[in-house]
Amino acid sequence: MPEISRDEVAHLATLARIDLSDDELDHLAPQLSVILESVASITGVAGDDVAPTSHALPLTNVFREDVVTPCLTPEQALSGAPEVEEQRFSVPRILGEEQ
Amino acid sequence: MGDWLRSTAAELADALAAGETTSVEVTRAYLDRIAAVDPAVHAFLHVDADGALAQAAASDERRAAGTLLSPLDGVPIAVKDVLTTAGLPTTCGSRILEGWVPPYDATVVRRLREAGLPILGKTNMDEFAMGSSTEHSAYGPTHNPWDLDRIPGGSGGGSAAAVAAFEAPLAIGTDTGGSIRQPGAVTGTVGVKPTYGGVSRYGLVALANSLDQAGPVTRTVLDAALLHEVIGGHDPLDSTSIDQPLPALVEAARQGATGDLSGLRIGVVTELSATGGQGGWQSGVMSRFQESVDLLVEAGAEVVEVSCPTFVHALATYYLILPAEASSNLAKFDAMRYGLRVWPEEGASAEDVMRATRDAGFGDEVKRRIILGTYALSSGYYDAYYGQAQKVRTLIARDFDAAFEKADVLVSPTAPTTAFRLGEKLDDPIAMYLNDLATIPANLAGVPGISVPSGLADEDGLPTGFQVLAPALADDRLYRVGAALEAALTARWGGPLLDRAPALEGGAA
């Protein structure tokens, strides 16, 4: 089991879109190593012949009738938004300076 | 008034039917109790006094008009803050959703409203249901009514404590790895995790979709069955909902309470006990467990020893599958459509805002699990971790299948220890995770489970829980066995276990 380094945690935090402070990285990295070490025990428990289970009950292709039902009004859908403009979600700029 | 607080939901329903009280009187008694003891217990994140009283008044009007909606019409209830409630805040115990008022009801909440149960408020929980102590709530921990310096379990510590402290006769919890059953065990209350798919997840803010299940949190087994029949059953809005009728749960509870378990085979799981399992099993928990097994034998049940060898890998499997699903579910908290938005600087980009918001809005445990899940799903590790965990999940389900060929139900202590002190395990994730050792296998396989109070541990005088597990769709067996055990234990104790809990400051009951 490879130990998870501070740099790796920083990289994962970037992938997960969370700013972690230096203090948080110092704190989290060793804890994550301990957790990973303990979950690594399942390596090799199940052979190649075992099918994976993604859901407890095997249901497939659950359809409903294609009928129109009431849904949220625009006001309701926008009611929790941090910022609204012209009946739309208003978001920060998407592109960087160089783009 | 005090009498109504201590009444079971079934007794309240009878008293309402007999005209001995009104829904307004009962609801007001509970609101007064909340005002008196919740400053010390902190079971609630939000109390809706006006709304609950209006719903109670409407129930009393229906009763006068003879148009009752259900057997529990007029009996108030508390709802875990992870289920959406139109018009009431829903925070999931997180800063990132502080003040958010959902525009729609969860199906469970809608069914409560349609059955006429006044909603008292929303209960405290570990942030996004990640935890076993309620200490990971961004709004401060809930305290165990048996000892305010101790944890009430988690993640649904608020719902369990509310019921244990007589702040509500009924509550709704959710159980992803034990979050209904373990709080039940450490607070001396009843908690049921239904079969996966038995209760709709629509409007339940997802922690791990393939594991989450909402269910009853109550003081008696019969109350849990009554509530389960209100909230359960097929929901077209949840594609994983089971499209068949619920078994007769109330009937099973009433039958079990007669105390006859002749012909029933009870399997004691070797791996979920002090003799064959991992972790530190407290001796008082084990003696109360053995005592309960003996009582079930006296009631006519036959005991068989069963081995589920893969269960020793359940905890590791869970802590790969859960973070993987959680990290992907929580990606929706992106500061764009709802919840917190933090600007690190003026003119920041959407990505900068997202990163700053998620740093400010999520607590330590949520960050730990998101990072862990991101790792488990990243390329190069996927097969070794997530893929392997999904295979072990198959083996755990096979262990259950084999065990249920030898026994009608499986039993174990619900949690390895009684309630520990607040702060004791807060910064030791592994020690915290071990609390759910005995409850996790059921979530991985989707089978139903109940925790019933089994007494007080000799060494610390704190509640212990007895867990019963049944095959998928056979939830009625939980109620039959749970009610039989409850009847035998209550007779031995000379009254409900909660009668022995210390009186709370500010509360007369």
Per-residue pLDDT at B279? 64
Q: What share of chain B has pLDDT > 90, as a percent?
A: 93
* Residue A18 included in any domain: yes
Average pLDDT over residues B385-408: 96
* Annotated catalytic residue, options B7, B23, B59, B80: B80
Residue B12 makes CB contacts below 8 A (sequence gap 6+) with B4, B21, B26, B74, B75, B169
Average pLDDT over residues B282-294: 96
- Inform me whether the C-beta atom of residue B358 falls under 8 Å from chain A C-beta atoms: yes
Signed CA dihedral, B176, B180, B185, B191: sign only: negative
Identity of the residue numbered B122: K
Average pLDDT over residues B408-420: 97
φ, ψ at A76 (rounded to 5°): -65, -45
- Inform me whether the C-beta atom of residue A67 falls under 8 Å from chain B C-beta atoms: no
Verify whether the Cβ–Cβ distance B356 to A16 is below 8 Å: no
Task: Give which of B172, B224, B166 is closest to B7, Cα–Cα.
Answer: B166
Average pLDDT over residues B155-180: 98
The answer to whether residues B266 and B456 touch, using CB atoms and an 8 Å cutoff, is no
* Residue B320 included in any domain: no
ipTM value, please give it. Answer: 0.94
Per-residue pLDDT at B1? 45
Would you list the DSSP string of A8-39? HHHHHHHHTT----HHHHHHHHHHHHHHHHHH
Average pLDDT over residues B397-407: 98
Verify whether the Cβ–Cβ distance A53 to B397 is below 8 Å: yes
Gap from A22 CA to chain B (nearest CA, Å): 12
Residue with tokens 């803050």: B81
* Residue A10 included in any domain: yes
**A26 lies in which domain range?**
6-42
Six token digits for residue B432 = 């915290």
B155 classed as catalytic: yes
Rounded Cα distance between B361 and B364, Å, is: 10
Range with the lowest mean pLDDT among A16-25, B155-164, B225-234, B429-438?
Answer: B429-438
Residue with tokens 């600087």: B345
* Residue B86 included in any domain: yes
Q: Which of B375, B396, B400, B437 to mutate: most A Cβ within 10 Å?
A: B375
pLDDT at B428 over 90: no
Average pLDDT over residues B182-202: 98
Model confidence at A97, pLDDT cuts 50, 70, 90, reads: low
Please state, rounded to an integer, the average pLDDT across all residues of chain A. 89
Q: B302 in helix, strand or coil?
A: strand
Look at chain A and report how many structural domains it folds into: 1
Q: A44: alpha, beta or left, given left = phi > 0 and alpha = psi -120 to 50? A: left
pLDDT at B192 over 50: yes
What is the rounded (10 degree) CA torsion for A80, A81, A84, A88?
A: -100
B81-97 pLDDT, tens digit per residue, is 999 999 999 999 999 99
Residue with tokens 């939980």: B478
Average pLDDT over residues B247-256: 98
Verify whether the Cβ–Cβ distance A89 to B354 is below 8 Å: no
Per-residue pLDDT at A44? 87
Out of A35, A57, A76, closest to residue B319 by CB: A35
Rounded Cα distance between B73 and B170, Å, is: 13
B23 classed as catalytic: no
* Residue A61 included in any domain: no
Per-residue pLDDT at B429? 85
Gap from A72 CA to chain B (nearest CA, Å): 8
* Residue A86 included in any domain: no
Q: B355 in helix, strand or coil?
A: helix
* Residue B330 included in any domain: no
Six token digits for residue B276 = 């064959």
B480-504 pLDDT, tens digit per residue, is 999 999 999 999 999 999 999 999 9
pLDDT at A1 over 60: no
Verify whether the Cβ–Cβ distance B393 to A53 is below 8 Å: yes
Verify whether the Cβ–Cβ distance B374 to A93 is below 8 Å: no
Residue B428 makes CB contacts below 8 A (sequence gap 6+) with none
* Residue A12 included in any domain: yes
Verify whether the Cβ–Cβ distance B370 to A18 is below 8 Å: yes
* H or E segment and range at residue B47: strand B44-47
Look at chain B and report how many structural domains it folds into: 1
* Residue A23 included in any domain: yes
B314-348 pLDDT, tens digit per residue, is 999 999 999 999 999 999 999 999 999 999 999 99
Model confidence at B7, pLDDT cuts 50, 70, 90, reads: very high
* Residue B121 included in any domain: yes
Q: Number of residue pairs across A and B with CB atoms under 8 Å? A: 175
- Contacts A81 to B, Cβ<8 Å: 336-338
Number of CB atoms found within 10 A of residue A2's CB: 9
Task: Give which of B389, B250, B288, B358 is closest to A40, Cα–Cα.
Answer: B389
B355-364 pLDDT, tens digit per residue, is 999 999 999 9
Please state, rounded to an integer, the average pLDDT across all residues of chain B. 96
B24-58 pLDDT, tens digit per residue, is 999 999 999 999 999 999 999 999 999 999 999 99
Per-residue pLDDT at B508? 54
* Residue A93 included in any domain: no
* Residue B349 included in any domain: no
* Residue A20 included in any domain: yes
- Contacts A29 to B, Cβ<8 Å: none
Average pLDDT over residues B74-84: 98
φ, ψ at B483 (rounded to 5°): -70, -35
* Residue B380 included in any domain: no
Model confidence at A2, pLDDT cuts 50, 70, 90, reads: low
Q: Looking at chain B from residue 418 to 477, which residues have their Cβ under 8 Å from any Cβ of chain A? A: 429-430, 443-447, 472
* Residue B350 included in any domain: no
- Inform me whether the C-beta atom of residue A1 falls under 8 Å from chain B C-beta atoms: no
**B77 lies in which domain range?**
2-312+393-500
* R_g of chain B, CA atoms, integer Å: 21
Average pLDDT over residues B7-29: 98
* Residue B335 included in any domain: no
Rounded Cα distance between B348 and A84, Å, is: 18
| Overall residue count recorded for chain A in this entry | 99
Out of B313, B350, B367, closest to residue A28 by CB: B367
Per-residue pLDDT at B479? 98
Q: Which of B213, B391, B425 to mutate: most A Cβ within 10 Å?
A: B391
Task: Give which of B329, B441, B155, B373 is closest to A35, Cα–Cα.
Answer: B373
